[in-house]
Amino acid sequence: MSLRYITRFAHYDAKTVEEATALLNKYGEKAKPIAGGTALMDILKKKYLPTPEAIVNLKTIPGLDQVTEDGGAIKIGALTKLVDLAESSVIKSKCPMIADAVNLISSPQLRNMGTVGGNLCQQVRCWYYVKADFFCYRKGGPVCYQPGGDNRYGAILQQKVCNAVIASDLATTFTALNASLKVEGPGGSRDVPIKDFYVTLGNTLKQGEIITWITIPEAPSKGSFKKFKIRKTWDFAVASAAVATTSKGTIAALGGVAPVVVSGTPDEVTSALGSATPLSMNKYKVQIAKTILKEAMA
Ligand SMILES: Cc1cc2nc3c(=O)[nH]c(=O)nc-3n(C[C@H](O)[C@H](O)[C@H](O)COP(=O)(O)OP(=O)(O)OC[C@H]3O[C@@H](n4cnc5c(N)ncnc54)[C@H](O)[C@@H]3O)c2cc1C
Ligand code: SF4
């Protein structure tokens, strides 16, 4: 049974990154940052994760909603709304594959609210996970329900304890673009290559840390994002592929196929798909992923 009322919590409007990270650190696991709220509010209503005691609003921090060029690099503030990212003149002229990816994310209403940082940190959409009644590995429980249950949209690669797939289309896109994330917390700031950010059961953010900036080191000379989804309106990826070429070479990245983004050279990613390990109901995803990768490489 889902009780769609929201349990009480303290709400803070952070004015600086330091204030936000100090508050998050003070409450520890009992606090959550909020940006656009399009993903977090759903969790608060459906209660499939514990309701935090404190919510720290990041949108009141000025300056983190910009897209700029810095030498040859592109810098994207974590509070940039998805719609503003797609409309940015820097993105349109230097890296249109990002705008292509954003325009395939959810609906115009959600892109008007949702932010880049929130997109990167959203939870998986496994339909056991998003129900309060199921206590699976990802919630600290003893079991994964997908192998013995409905696994149509589950992982076909790199399953360890969890068979859910990464939901963020920007994670796939930024991985192909070799992006790094600026992460700030009570202990200072660090730069994390996006390919090292995601782990099987989530990401590598430590207590009190938030993403503040995304840096794409070099605009690609050629880049493409392709996504296969079931519905023609908004939908998450059954499989997505991003491929980008810079002076350092070509990186291919696949989303929707594993708990993390699968990336490498185009040959490495093609070969990974050749030894995919689909579940009982999702063998069809292997061919879709191969095709979408070929389209992105064309
Ligand atoms: C119906 C629907 C369809 C969707 N379809 C797609 C899709 O096709 N592709 C896709 O990629 N996404 C899709 N999404 C996800 C959507 O893009 C995200 O909901 C949105 O980007 C989240 O941004 P937000 O700012 O609203 O995040 P919030 O809801 O505010 O936060 C989401 C999570 O990120 C954390 N967080 C937020 N900002 C930061 C930060 N700067 N640092 C650290 N943690 C942070 C929050 O604590 C929370 O856990 C869909 C969502 C919905 C509801
Ligand atoms: S796939 Fe992952 S999120 Fe889904 S039930 Fe299994 S452990 Fe939980």
pLDDT along the chain (298 residues), means of 10: 75 98 97 98 94 97 97 97 98 98 96 98 97 96 97 96 97 98 97 98 97 98 97 91 98 98 98 98 98 97
Ligand 2: centre distance to CA 4 (Å): 23
- CA–CA gap between residue 211 and residue 181 (Å, rounded): 7
The closest ligand to the CA of 148 turns out to be 2
Report CA torsion sign: 51, 57, 59, 61.
negative
Nearest-CA neighbor of 292 among 224, 236, 235, 244?
224
Contact 253/247 with Cβ under 8 angstroms? no
Q: What is the pLDDT of residue 151?
A: 98
Backbone phi, psi, residue 89, to 5°: -65, -35
The length of the chain in residues reads: 298
Of 43, 49, 123, 124, which is best to mutate to test ligand 2, by the most ligand atoms within 8 angstroms of its C-beta? 124
Nearest-CA neighbor of 14 among 183, 210, 203?
210
Q: From atom 3 of ligand 2, which residue's Cα is the shortest distance away?
A: 129
The closest ligand to the CA of 44 turns out to be 1
Q: What is the pLDDT of residue 4?
A: 66
Distances (CA, A) of 174 to 24, 70, 261: 26, 17, 10
CB of 78 sitting under 6 A from ligand 1? yes
Ligand 1: centre distance to CA 298 (Å): 30
Contact 64/79 with Cβ under 8 angstroms? yes
CB of 252 sitting under 6 A from ligand 1? no
* Residues within a 6 A CB radius of ligand 2: 124, 126, 128-129, 136-138, 144-146, 162-164
* Cβ partners under 8 Å of residue 280, min gap 6: 147, 151
Q: What is the pLDDT of residue 257?
A: 98
Beta bridge partners of 225: 242
Ligand 1: centre distance to CA 118 (Å): 4
Helix axes 284-297, 266-274, angle to 10 degrees: 170
Q: From atom 32 of ligand 1, which residue's Cα is the shortest distance away?
A: 118
CA angle 262, 38, 60 (to 5 degrees): 105
Q: What is the pLDDT of residue 234?
A: 86
Ligand 1: centre distance to CA 111 (Å): 10
- Ligand 1 atom nearest the C-alpha of 211 is 42
Contact 139/49 with Cβ under 8 angstroms? yes
